[in-house]
Structure 1
């Protein structure tokens, strides 16, 4: 085989990249390709994505190659490049969303060989099936037990060299913002992972719910864009079971989405609830102006950072669904727009879990939001960090519902959250 294309999607790295490794082993020339498709929503992730692509280009150039960037429909641009270079194969990492699956089906129907590779998850979505039948696990604990026993593929080194065909114009990347507190790309991802595995992993089980302490890894955006291999991370963190279990949760939602790709649009459990439709209430929640401090802090963190503490995500989702009675899809849509780590599988799977329409085996569990706030932010530091209007309120009193300076018409000026059950 003379020339092969490697189509990058959610695997923006050179370490442990099965598609890139296979193409470099089989073909004399390899064309790494990323297509910026205007039909694929990037939301608030676009700047982070462009940083990731710039980092990937640098890593490929260090190995004698380059990242070829094209704009338009992914399949059309891939096939146009195949015709230009004479490529006879396209290698890509397999994904699980409905959009990704349709793209793979279209590529498989083209005249060139299309080869899917693992790499988006630790265990490929279709590799584990319940012994009692069915195409996927519907409950997490049996999946976790099978997942940790499953034999894994080896972690692959990056290729020594990537040889592009002569005369190929790589194309320009759009301007991207300067790196912030969480810069995109494989290099900062590996640096952050190394530091956190050395200094944060040991206390993760005891501290990951501490809202103010923020003792989570914040590696999820890098996993979402594939700047880190989830398999390599699981291997390096093997002695930290609480953290590895979170990687398994990620795999769990991916295998559910692989079996049920409509997860972002339809209830996984078929029964539909009667949802309220209140635009003012939804907008107040989105803006962090509900009057319940712990909810407002979480929502403002999302808007400010493109990220939210995991415990806060559970709290704000429970408020939207359990207190306001609004459709989980409204919340999932807002998260997907703003989260750096927003993807279809985890975002929709977790929202459906909270709504009781997904994989939760106890869909009607109670959840007291003020109790959660006082337990996981006992001194109120998390709330004061993101709701400066409450900076002068001492101690745990900061969690008491507060009177907002202005609210949408018809929305209550004070919300009593003491009996919130979700």
Structure 2
């Protein structure tokens, strides 16, 4: 193949990028492309800024390797087909995804590719194990985590891919201008991009053996904070898993990466996960108390650990996982507010807010999802006593 286009979506990296690597291995010229899609903009100022930073970093890294990132704005299918025609491309490569929007984009791109005699290929890379690869007997996906985890551990992972071969752009390509960086809402948000992601991974992975002891310590903050980079594909989850497993006692952390894969296979099988109750027979009777919801969202409930979690969310665009459980449980189980409203509020602020994990965890906490104990409740005071006994977390985010 002489020329191929690589459409970047949520795989904004060079390392372990199967779509990019395949294009560079099989084409003489490769055109990396990112399309700013107005249909996806404006949902979260924090994520808009993080995305912009990640795209800017990807362009800089590609330029360092003698290439570039072509930037367009509009419908990604139309822009990809148009660019392929301009450069005489014979194929398009992109990473497969699981959301309804992504599936529709893939289907439309494949159909348009056929019309224009253009080969369109999908590649793995958003998860460690492909969402449809593991299926229980008699079912299309795993509904319970533990058996999925056992199957996930037993399966052979794909091989990790190094940096792709260097491939030039065709001459005369208009690479486009990077738009101005949008303003986010959280002043303490981490910067986006593969460069920042790899720096964070290198700095944290030496502590992975302490993860099991520290990841629930709210004040200690022993979590990796890699989730925003995984959400945008600035890091490969497979590379993160391998980096962790090269250290002792990494299984508890890698188990969390398995949870991420688990929700991706749930979302692929149940694309309504952000709108409808997943658990069959789940009873939903929610209160429409707008004032209570507003107090929760703004961190004014008067419950210290709940308010601290919501303050952290707004300040950093991120929240400690233990605080996520407590705040979500309080909204749904104590205030009786619909989990979808909490999902939307988290979706506005979280840098790592994606459909599979954000919706999956909200449904788990609300008792409508994959939790085998749907009536569990996280008592805020007991959680504070256990995971913030000295009040450091509450004081930090008061």
TM bucket (normalised to shorter chain) is over 0.9
**Partner deviation per Cα, 1:48-87 (whole Å, 9 max, x = no partner):** 1111111101111122111111001111111111121121
State the aligned residue count.
Answer: 385
Counterpart in 2 of 1:68?
70
Counterpart in 2 of 1:326?
337
Partner Cα distance (1:365, 1:321) in 2 = 11
Which of 149, 166, 170 aligns to 1:161? It is 166
Matched, 1:377 2:388: yes
Counterpart in 1 of 2:227?
220
TM-score by length of structure 1 reads 0.89
- Structure 2 stretches lacking a partner, 5+ long: none
- SS state at 1:196 partner: helix
Q: Cα gap change, 1:104/1:272 in structure 2, threshold over 3 Å: closer, same or farther?
A: farther
Partner Cα distance (2:377, 2:2) in 1 = 61
Structure with more contact order per residue of length (Cα contacts < 8 Å, sep ≥ 6): 2
Alignment of 1:270-289 (within 5 A): 270=280, 271-289=282-300
Structure index of larger Rg: 1
Q: Cα gap change, 1:99/1:177 in structure 2, threshold over 3 Å: closer, same or farther?
A: closer
Counterpart in 2 of 1:37?
37
Counterpart in 2 of 1:125?
131
Counterpart in 2 of 1:185?
193
Which of 253, 270, 280 aligns to 1:243? It is 253
Cα offset, 1:23, TM superposition: 0.5
* Conservation of the 8 A alpha-carbon contact between 1:63 and 1:160: no
* Conservation of the 8 A alpha-carbon contact between 2:306 and 2:327: yes
Give the aligned CA root-mean-square deviation in angstroms.
1.4
**Partner deviation per Cα, 1:337-393 (whole Å, 9 max, x = no partner):** 110000000000000000111100110124321101111000111111111xxxxxx
Counterpart in 1 of 2:363?
352
* Conservation of the 8 A alpha-carbon contact between 1:8 and 1:32: yes
TM-score by length of structure 2 reads 0.94
Cα offset, 1:156, TM superposition: 0.5
Alignment of 1:191-270 (within 5 A): 191-198=199-206, 200-238=207-245, 239=248, 240-270=250-280
Cα offset, 1:175, TM superposition: 2.2
Partner Cα distance (2:215, 2:23) in 1 = 39
Alignment of 1:9-88 (within 5 A): 9-41=9-41, 42-43=43-44, 44-88=46-90
Which of 149, 152, 160 aligns to 2:157? It is 152
Matched, 1:113 2:113: no
Partner Cα distance (1:106, 1:365) in 2 = 42
